[in-house]
Amino acid sequence: MKTNEVKEYVVLNNGVKMPILAFGTDLIPNEDTKQAVLDAFAAGYRHIDTARLYGNENEVGEAVNATSVPRDEVFVTTKIWFNNYGYEKAKAAIDDALKRMNLDYLDLMLLHQPYNDYYGAYRALEEAYKAGKLRAIGVSNFYPDRLNDLIAFNEIKPQVDQIEIHPYFQQEFARANMESHGVQTESWATFARGKDGIFTNPILEEIGKKYNKSTAQIMIRWQLQRGIVCLAKSSSPKRMAQNLDVFDFNLTEEDMAAIKTIDRDTTVFMSHYDPRMLEELLTRAVEA
């Protein structure tokens, strides 16, 4: 993708348009979620990301139903937690999510983690997709080995894979692999959750000064120019608007190369290949 070709949406492998910037609701207190999503709509967001794990699907649904923005202009993503995998459990989890959010359909549903019976769960997604309950389906945290395995042995190719991507963990191999299979890359932890001084990284700050943009805006623009759907979170209406104000400048090839130099090629959290990750995630069991 050339630097001047960034649009405000991407087209998934099934023809569905997906806004390239998403508002994330993870870690927003439940009592604040509805207003935060309404503020996001007011700022200009049209793509809202939630998950069963976050415990705020109900509040997100309330905001989607309360806003004056037409439903067909809103893109809603949620995710099934892995203790609800397996065909029957996932089938119930899909219907429960629709009921909780009081929506007739979801624009995208993802399998949140690459553990447990994700094959059975994915078959439930395929069935719901064919029934019109889901406009698109996909996965999250599936690295190339498991993503390619899933693609090889299922009927419907995932439309999206949402993974950790930020300047410290740029995931070029995973992104290129998804592109080769027609799967859209989406990032979570776009700002590395502020770890390791990323907001004051001198390379990002220097590029920001050149364009009179914040380091957050530089990180978002960098993702967009790589063709990545970008998930950004903020409860501040001012910062919501700033995070959307990234379509009036282009990073040069030199800028992109400079950002490449800070890639550590490893997670700032815990690897999904580390058995301790599963042990930690098992403590987060949620109901369907």
Catalytic residue among 45, 54, 85, 118: 54
| Pick from 160, 101, 104, 171: nearest CA to 132 | 104
More confident residue, 4 or 25: 25
Binding-site residues, in ranges, read 112
| Long-range residue pairs from 261-265, CB within 8 A, at least 24 positions apart, any chain | 261/203, 262/167, 262/168, 262/201, 262/203, 262/204, 263/167, 263/168, 263/169, 263/170, 263/172, 264/168, 264/169, 265/169, 265/170
Express each pLDDT in 72-126 by its tens digit. 999 999 999 999 999 999 999 999 999 999 999 999 999 999 999 999 999 999 9
Domains and CATH numbers, the chain: 9-284 (3.20.20.100)
Query: In the structure, what pLDDT confidence band is assigned to residue 4 with cuts at 50, 70 and 90?
Result: very low
Active site residue 168: no
pLDDT of residue 264: 97
Binding-site residues for substrate, in ranges, read 112
Query: In the structure, what pLDDT confidence band is assigned to residue 1 with cuts at 50, 70 and 90?
Result: very low
Query: In the structure, what pLDDT confidence band is assigned to residue 288 with cuts at 50, 70 and 90?
Result: low
Phi, psi for 53 (deg, rounded to 5)? -60, -35
pLDDT of residue 6: 65
- pLDDT at residue 3 tops 80: no
Please report, as a single letter, which amino acid is at residue 235: S
pLDDT of residue 285: 75
Least reliable range by pLDDT among 49-63, 126-140, 208-222, 273-287: 273-287
User: What Rg, from alpha-carbon coordinates, does the chain have?
Assistant: 18
- pLDDT at residue 5 tops 60: no
**Six token digits for residue 273:** 């290949």
**What is the enclosing helix (H) or strand (E) of 129?**
helix 118-130
Least reliable range by pLDDT among 104-118, 140-154, 169-183, 231-245: 231-245
Mean pLDDT confidence for 230-249: 94
**Six token digits for residue 243:** 């995070």
The answer to whether 48 and 40 are in contact (CB under 8 A) is yes
CA 23 – CA 234 distance, rounded (Å): 8
CA 176 – CA 108 distance, rounded (Å): 22
DSSP 166: B
Mean per-residue pLDDT over the chain, rounded: 96
- pLDDT at residue 204 tops 80: yes
E-state strands within 25-135: 47-49, 75-80, 108-111
C-alpha dihedral (37, 42, 45, 50), degrees to nearest 10: 0
**What is the enclosing helix (H) or strand (E) of 59?**
helix 57-66
- pLDDT at residue 2 tops 50: no
